[in-house]
C-alpha cells in the first residue's frame, strides 16, 4: 500500500507558521486582509472562494469581496483592481481566472499592484519563477506541490521528475520549481509520444492535465511519488483527480488523494502569501 500524502498534515504545519505571523502583525495593529475579485458565478470559483474564506477565518485573516456580474465591462473590472490597489487595508488579492472571454485578461492581471500579487497573476511575478529572481510570490498550486514534497521529506536532488500538463498556472511553474530543487525534469503534454513510458521513468510524477483518471496503472512504477493536482467531477458527481487512484495506489510508493491532497494545501499557501505580503510591508 502506498503512503498517503495528506493535505491536512501539510496544512496543519503551514497553519502553525501562519498563525504565529498573524499574531505578530496583530500586535502591531495590522489586520492582514485578502481582497477577492470574482466576475460571474462560476461554480468552481465559488467553491474555491468558500474554502479560501473559511481558511482565512480560521487563521485570523480578513476577507473583502468585490463581486461583479458575468457581463462586467473591462472598465468595471479595472476599476475593481484599482480600488484594491489603493486600499491600504488589503494586503493580497485573489482574482478568479479565466475571466469571461469578452474581457482582456492580460491587461487586468497586469493592472494589479505587484506587492499584492499573492497568486502570481502579473507577468513580473511569473518571470520571477522562471528567472529564479525573487519577484512577488509563486503561483499557489505548484507551490502547494512543493510544500507537500518538503513536508514529507521527499528530496528532489538528482531525481527524475515528470510533470504532466504545461499550463502557465500549474505545469510550467511546477517544472521550474522542481528544477530549482535540483530534479531532472521532463514536461509531458497532449502531443507527447508514448507518455506512459515517459511517466514510468519518473521518481516524482506531478499530474496536472485536467482530465479525470488520465494517469492509469500503465503510467506508474514501484517506488514513485505521485502528486495529483487534478480536480474533476466524475460521472457519479464525485470529486476525483487526474490519477486513476484505485489502480495506481497499489503500485506506487506515495500518493496524494483527491480530495484531501493538493487542493487544501493550496488554500493555506494563498493565505500564507497574504500574511507574508503584509509582513513585507509592515514588519
Residue of 137, 135, 140, 82 lying closest to 108 (CA atoms): 82
Q: Does 216 bind ligand NAD (CB under 6 A)?
A: no
Rounded CA gap, 230 and 108, in Å? Answer: 26
- Does 5 participate in binding ligand NAD (rule CB under 6 A)? no
Site for ligand NAD in 236-265 (CB under 6 A): 262-263
Q: Rg for the chain (alpha carbons), in Å?
A: 19
Does 171 bind ligand NAD (CB under 6 A)? Our answer is: yes
Q: Exactly one of 59, 208, 227, 255 binds ligand NAD (CB under 6 A); which one?
A: 208
Q: What phi, psi does 203 have (nearest 5°)? A: -85, -40
Contacts of residue 267, Cβ cutoff 8 Å, sequence gap at least 6:
11, 48, 51, 52, 55, 140
- DSSP E strands, 69-203: 92-95, 160-164, 184-188
**Is 167 marked within a binding site?**
yes
Is residue 231 marked as binding? yes
* CB of residue 242 to ligand NAD, shortest distance in Å: 6
Q: Is 190 in the site for ligand NAD (CB under 6 A)?
A: yes
Total residues at interface with ligand NAD (CB under 6 A) = 23
170 binds ligand NAD (CB under 6 A): yes
Find the binder of ligand NAD among 84, 175, 226, 231 (CB under 6 A): 231
Where do we find the cell 497532449?
190
Q: How far is the CB of 29 from ligand NAD (least distance, A)?
A: 33
Spatial separation of the C-alpha atoms in residues 272 and 118, rounded to whole Å: 9
Q: Please pick, from the candidates 266, 270, 274, 277, the single residue that binds ligand NAD as defined by CB under 6 A.
A: 266
x/- binding map, residues 100-119, to ligand NAD, per CB under 6 A? --------------------
Residue with cell 500549474: 170
227 is known to lie in a ligand binding site: no
User: Min. distance of Cβ 262 from ligand NAD in angstroms?
Assistant: 4
Q: What is the DSSP code string of 15-45?
A: HHHHHHHHHHHHHTT---EEEEEEES--HHH
Residues sharing a CB contact under 8 Å with residue 170, sequence separation 6 or more, in sequence order:
139, 141, 142, 208, 229
Backbone angles phi, psi at 206, to 5 degrees: -110, 125
Residue placing its CB nearer to ligand NAD in the complex, 17 or 211: 211
Residue 165 among known ligand-binding residues:
yes
- Of positions 232, 257, 260, 279, contacts ligand NAD by CB under 6 A: 232
Question: Is residue 215 a contact residue for ligand NAD (CB under 6 A)?
Answer: no
**Which residues of the shown chain bind ligand NAD in the complex (CB under 6 A)?**
141, 164-167, 169-171, 188-190, 208-211, 214, 229-232, 262-263, 266
Amino acid at each position: 500500500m502506498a503512503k498517503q500524502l495528506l493535505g491536512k498534515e501539510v496544512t496543519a504545519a503551514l497553519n502553525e507558521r501562519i498563525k504565529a505571523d498573524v499574531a505578530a502583525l496583530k500586535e502591531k495593529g495590522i489586520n492582514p486582509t485578502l481582497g477577492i475579485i470574482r466576475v460571474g458565478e462560476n461554480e468552481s470559483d465559488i467553491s474555491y472562494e468558500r474554502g479560501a474564506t473559511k481558511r482565512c477565518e480560521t487563521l485570523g485573516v480578513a476577507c473583502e469581496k468585490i463581486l461583479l456580474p458575468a457581463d462586467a465591462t473591462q472598465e468595471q473590472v479595472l476599476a475593481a483592481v484599482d480600488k484594491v490597489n489603493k486600499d491600504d487595508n488589503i494586503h493580497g488579492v485573489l482574482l478568479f481566472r479565466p475571466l469571461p472571454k469578452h474581457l482582456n485578461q492580460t491587461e487586468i492581471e497586469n493592472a494589479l499592484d505587484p506587492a499584492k500579487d499573492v497568486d502570481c497573476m502579473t507577468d513580473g511575478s511569473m518571470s520571477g519563477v522562471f528567472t529564479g529572481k525573487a519577484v512577488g510570490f509563486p503561483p499557489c498550486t505548484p507551490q502547494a506541490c512543493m510544500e507537500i514534497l518538503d513536508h514529507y521529506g521527499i528530496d528532489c536532488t538528482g531525481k527524475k521528475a515528470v510533470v504532466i500538463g504545461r499550463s502557465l498556472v500549474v505545469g510550467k511553474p511546477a517544472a521550474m520549481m522542481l528544477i530549482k530543487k535540483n530534479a531532472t525534469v521532463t514536461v509531458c503534454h497532449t502531443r507527447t509520444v508514448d507518455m506512459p513510458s515517459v511517466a514510468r521513468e519518473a521518481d516524482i510524477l506531478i499530474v496536472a492535465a485536467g482530465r479525470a483518471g488520465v494517469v492509469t496503472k500503465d503510467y506508474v512504477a514501484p517506488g514513485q511519488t505521485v502528486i495529483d493536482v487534478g480536480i474533476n467531477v466524475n460521472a457519479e458527481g464525485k470529486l476525483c483527480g487526474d490519477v486513476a487512484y484505485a489502480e495506481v495506489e497499489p503500485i506506487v510508493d506515495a500518493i496524494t488523494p483527491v480530495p484531501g491532497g493538493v487542493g487544501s494545501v493550496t488554500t493555506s499557501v494563498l493565505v500564507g502569501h497574504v500574511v507574508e505580503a503584509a509582513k513585507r510591508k509592515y514588519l
